[in-house]
Chains A and B, each alone.
Chain A
Amino acid sequence: MRLFDPHVHMSSRTTADYEAMAAAGIAVVVEPAFWLGQPRTHAGSFADYFASLVGWEPFRASQFDVRHFCALALNPREANDDRIAADVVALLPRYLAKDGVVAVGEVGYDEQTPAEERWFAEQLELARRFDLPVLVHTPHRDKKRGTERSLALVREIGLPPQRVLIDHNTEETLPLVLRAGCWAGHSIYPNSKMDEPRMAALVQQYGGERVLINSAADWGISDPLKVATTVAEMRARGIAEEVIATVAWDNPVAFFSQSGRLDLEAGDATGNAFAGNTVRRG
């Protein structure tokens, strides 16, 4: 079964990870823009980061037959830094127009500050302007309230719920997100947020419609194979193959296809037929 990891920060990972992901069946990844494990102090650092997400990282992935796409945004944590926030958001229109950008994201709330709300709302408007779906991060702390506020802001801005993926859900937030008509992502982590058995139980309870799973792997304790290990857990519990395929492939394809830029044909995500035109020597 081909698998899709709709939220993984590959810039933080090694080529050995790409190799292991490809071997585990992960054929497509979406890397949302986030922080780098620590705050940046110049807006220019974001320009280089965005350029990397539409250039270098898709090439790295293509060497292992993994297709790499990205979502771009000012993330909720650094939205709180008013020395850089406005300049970063001003950069976004230029980069949102590029090949391989399949969503605006991660946007959302972290500490649920007024600054976070301002840039969350402005970037929802950018998503509308560029006709892109949105990937919404939900906070680690005070998660239920943060999720409710996110859903309310999406409603207030008037973005169609089917264009919005609310991520990092738990048992408490998943029903809220499904009821609102949005897509619901789940980050499967070694120690926190969500694990494989709990995730499989959620799929048994709610079914696969609009439910997605991801590894959210980054610089912290995380595992880029979590989509594959969660698929194995669902299979071990006897969840139907077609439900598993809906969660691990069809749903992310359907969601990001709304961008009109999820081109899954040969070559890397920016259309480079890498293997075809280069003879690699040992």
Chain B
Amino acid sequence: MSDPAAALAAILRQRRPEAFATWLADASLAAGASFDRTAFELAFAGAGRRFGTDTIGGGITLTGASGRAWSIAGWGLDDAARALLVLGAVAVIPEAAQPGFVDDLYRAGASRERRALLRALALLPDPQRFLATALDACRTSTLPVFEAIACENPYPAECFPKPRFNQMALKAVFTGIAVDRILLLATRRSGELARMAADYAAERRAAGRPVPADLALLGAP
């Protein structure tokens, strides 16, 4: 299915029919409703208690704004529910207000709200507009939030400028994340990233510490 909102709605309707029945209406996003920020925020915050956090599981892919599809098997049902709300809100609020809206949701978000937003960024129209929020997320020390942008997410490879992508990739290695979780890495390999990986390996060896076995993946052609 190429419409991500329809795909997410189908997953939620199938897995949690009762919770889904009035989900969009409760968030003031039913067809014809006028958007109510407070109702939206309450629904967005409560998604985990309503849908639970079970993972979506195998075989489900979404197609992002770039036309590329990727697996959302690792998303929770709450991530799907929140992503659907963000897609719905972005469809009804003025274009110029959308980046600020998403950034505000991120800043006020609990960990799982932040994760869901970051996972949904590549689904939003003209996703480059949300770059500041994504870059800010890369500075977090809350590892599950960092993973949501760095791992199983096409957004960094599709939108980050080179120095920021390189920093994110190295931070992933640095925090113990397996390199193969960075999507589309092959499209962003560069001489500079290879040098940073080689320097990191040298730093580890100098300190008498093991070098992560998959570090070489950052620099491989």
- Given A260-B49, A271-B53, the answer on whether A59 and B212 have CB atoms closer than 8 Å is no
Q: Does B176 contact A (CB under 8 A)?
A: yes
Q: Could you tell me if B176 and A270 are in contact, using CB atoms closer than 8 angstroms?
A: no
Number of interface residues of B (CB under 8 A): 33
Check if B176 sits within 8 Å of A279, measured CB to CB.
Answer: yes
Minimum C-beta distance from A257 to chain B (A): 14
Tell me the chain B residues, 75-109 only, with Cβ under 8 Å from chain A: 76, 78, 107-109
Residues of A within 8 A of B38 (CB): 93
Q: How far is the CA of A261 from the CA of B48 in the complex (A)?
A: 10
Residue pair B143, A271 in contact (C-beta under 8 Å): no
- CA–CA, A167 to B217, complex, Å? 55
Of the stretches B7-15, B20-28, B110-118, B183-191, the one at the interface is B110-118
Check A281 against B147 for contact (C-beta < 8 Å). Answer: no
Asked if B161 lies at the interface with its beta carbon under 8 angstroms from chain A, I say no
Q: Mark A51-62, 1 if CB is under 8 A from B, else 0.
A: 100111011000
Whether the Cβ atoms of B143 and A279 lie closer than 8 Å is no
- B48: which of A268, A271, A279, A280 is its contact (CB, 8 Å)? A271
Pick from B109, B111, B114, B178 the residue with the most CB of A within 10 Å. B111
Do A281 and B176 touch (CB < 8 A)?
yes
A237-279 residues with Cβ-Cβ distance < 8 A to B are: 260-261, 267-268, 270-272, 274, 277-279
A54 to B115 Cα, complex, angstroms: 13
CA of A237 to CA of B36 in the docked complex: distance in angstroms? 58
| B111, closest chain A residue (CB) | A270
Contacts of A98 in B (CB 8 A): 45, 110, 113
Judge whether B142 is part of the interface by a CB distance below 8 angstroms.
yes
Closest A residue, CB atoms, query B174: A281
**Which residues between 53 and 100 of chain A lie within 8 Å of chain B, taking CB atoms?**
54-56, 58-59, 93-95, 97-100
Of B42, B74, B109, B212, the residue contacting A281 (CB under 8 A) is B212
Say yes or no for A47: interface residue by CB 8 A criterion: yes
In the bound complex, residues from chain A placing their C-beta under 8 Å from that of B209 are: 282
In the assembled complex, which residues on chain B have CB atoms less than 8 Å from the CB atom of A54? 110-111
In the complex, the answer to whether A56 meets B178 with C-beta atoms within 8 Å is: no
Distance in Å: Cβ of A258 to nearest Cβ of chain B: 14
The docked-state distance in angstroms from the alpha carbon of A206 to that of B41 is 44
User: Which residues of A are found within 8 Å of B177, using beta-carbon distances?
Assistant: 278-279
Q: A99-B48, A99-B49 are in contact. Are A51 and B141 (CB under 8 A)?
A: no
Task: Assess whether B193 is interfacial by the CB under 8 Å rule.
Answer: no
Considering residues B49, B113, B144, which has the most beta carbons from chain A within 10 angstroms of its beta carbon? B144
* Shortest beta-carbon distance from A12 to chain B in Å: 17
Residues of chain B within 8 A (CB-CB) of A51 are 107-110
B110 and A270 within 8 A (CB): yes
**Docked-complex contact B46 and A97, CB < 8 angstroms:** yes
Q: In the complex, are the beta carbons of B110 and A100 less than 8 A apart?
A: yes
Smallest beta-carbon distance B58→chain A, Å:
16
Decide yes or no whether B145 CB sits under 8 A from chain A: yes
Known contacts A97-B41, A97-B46, A261-B49: does B212 contact A55 (CB below 8 Å)? Answer: no
Contact flag A47-B108 (CB < 8 Å), given A98-B113, A281-B176, A281-B212: yes
Q: Give A107 Cβ to nearest chain B Cβ, in Å.
A: 21
Bound Cα distance A99, B78 (Å):
12
Compute how far the CA of A54 lies from the CA of B109 in the bound complex, rounded to whole angstroms. Answer: 8
Q: State in angstroms the CA–CA spacing of A278 and B212 once bound together.
A: 14
Q: Write the residues of chain B forming the contact surface with A, with a CB cutoff of 8 angstroms.
A: 38, 41-42, 45-46, 48-49, 53, 74, 76, 78, 107-115, 141-145, 147, 175-178, 209-210, 212
Question: What are 8 A-to-B residue pairs whose CB atoms are below 8 Å?
Answer: A47-B107, A97-B42, A97-B46, A99-B45, A277-B144, A278-B143, A278-B177, A279-B177
Q: 4 nearest interchain CB pairs?
A: A97-B45, A54-B110, A272-B144, A270-B111
Given pairs A94-B108, A99-B45, 10 additional interface contacts (CB within 8 A)? A51-B110, A59-B141, A95-B108, A98-B110, A98-B113, A270-B110, A271-B53, A278-B143, A279-B176, A279-B178
